[in-house]
Amino acid sequence: MWEELTAKLLNGDFKSLARCISLVENEVEGYDAFLKELPTASTIVVGITGPPGAGKSTLTDALIEAYVKEGKKVAVLCVDPSSPFNLGALLGDRIRMSDWYNHPSVYIRSLASRGSMGGLHPSIIEVTDTIKAAGFDVIIVETVGVGQSEIEVAGLADITVVVLVPEAGDEVQTMKSGLMEIADIFVVNKADRPGAATFVKNLRQMLAPAFHQQTHEVAVIKTIAAQKQGIGELKAQIEVLIGIPGKDRKAWLLAEKAYQLIRNRRMKNVNKAALKLAIENCKNFNLYQFVAAYEAERA
């Protein structure tokens, strides 16, 4: 099964790609060997993140159009929030990208976050590498938009774009530094709204102290994604950053991926339902004693 699927995947067959992704995210027998045999690809991964309502899906749609016009092959991973009870996706429809679902150069896949606190799917690295093998030029990963906790995207994407809106002034003030620091590019979307110029100015002032820690100045770009304005500038900035030598950044990126894979595999046998049952059957429950006993039992 895997050999036939892999051969079709390497030829860019979308149906085989979809099947491979499903098998990988559900860890069907043989998926580990499949991943080890995947060829190395130079596909660019662009992460789109930011708070809910910032226009991430509309911006992604506009970027798809810009890349397709250049003859590029584009894949989009949309990570949806999931139910805390059954881990199914709460938002499955991608209405703003409906024009691209049947396009021969575009592949769109929605994934449930499955309770992941980082705004991403727990197997997002494996899924992304599977898509790379299908010969795409660009992969766009759109996170669920949970705000302060979605910094894991920085460990996955070559370029991380944080999308904000002019009304986000108070929100930016209260953001954890993590989300502010992961951005390679800030996009102020819906820039036709009142106060956009002032917000951009204030955002640049906030970023100024961090410039000396970066290998490049963090760009702040104004867009009106619904009208396709500013998309060319954003795409050009992404290409500029991809062209900047970053051996140290690449090593940190791979280290972050390795860390996440190792962590996920060590947590593989930890089941929340089993934990709940064990806690219900525990008398005189003490959280720290319970965790210590649980870890000792599996050591």
> What are the residues facing 104 on neighbouring strands?
none
- One domain, residues 144 and 215: yes
More confident residue, 176 or 130: 130
Where does the pLDDT of residue 96 fall: very low under 50, low under 70, confident under 90, or very high at 90 and above? low
Q: What is the pLDDT of residues 104-163, one digit of tens each?
A: 999 999 887 555 544 466 788 899 999 999 999 999 998 866 544 455 676 788 898 999
- One domain, residues 16 and 48: no
- One domain, residues 232 and 259: yes
Residue 227 tokens, joined = 């009208």
Quick check: 52 pLDDT over 70?
yes
- One domain, residues 15 and 161: no
Q: Where are the alpha helices (DSSP H) in 31-160?
A: 31-36, 56-69, 124-132
- One domain, residues 155 and 229: yes
- One domain, residues 200 and 278: no
- One domain, residues 212 and 133: yes
- One domain, residues 88 and 215: yes
- One domain, residues 200 and 65: yes
- Which string of DSSP letters, residue by residue, matches 149-217? T-GGGGGT-SEEEEEE-GGGHHHHHHS-HHHHHT-SEEEE-STTSTTHHHHHHHHHHHHGGGGGGSSSP
Look up the pTM and report it. Answer: 0.82
Return the sign of the alpha-carbon dihedral for residues 276, 277, 283, 288. Answer: negative
- One domain, residues 144 and 287: no
pLDDT given at position 4 = 94
> What's CA 182's distance to the chain center, in Å?
12
Q: What is the pLDDT of residues 284-298, one digit of tens each?
A: 888 888 888 888 887
**231-242 and 56-69 helices, crossing angle to 10°:** 70
- One domain, residues 149 and 136: yes
Q: What is the pLDDT of residues 194-237, one digit of tens each?
A: 989 999 988 888 776 555 455 567 899 999 999 999 999 999 99
> How many structural domains is the chain composed of?
3
| Structural domain of 123 | 39-266
Judge contact between 75 and 131, C-beta under 8 A: yes
Interval 10-34 mean pLDDT: 93
* Mean pLDDT estimate for the chain: 82
- One domain, residues 43 and 155: yes
Quick check: 76 pLDDT over 50?
yes
Query: CATH number for the domain including 134?
Result: 3.40.50.300
Q: What is the rounded CA–CA span in Å between residue 137 and residue 122?
A: 23
Q: What is the rounded CA–CA span in Å between residue 199 and residue 256?
A: 32
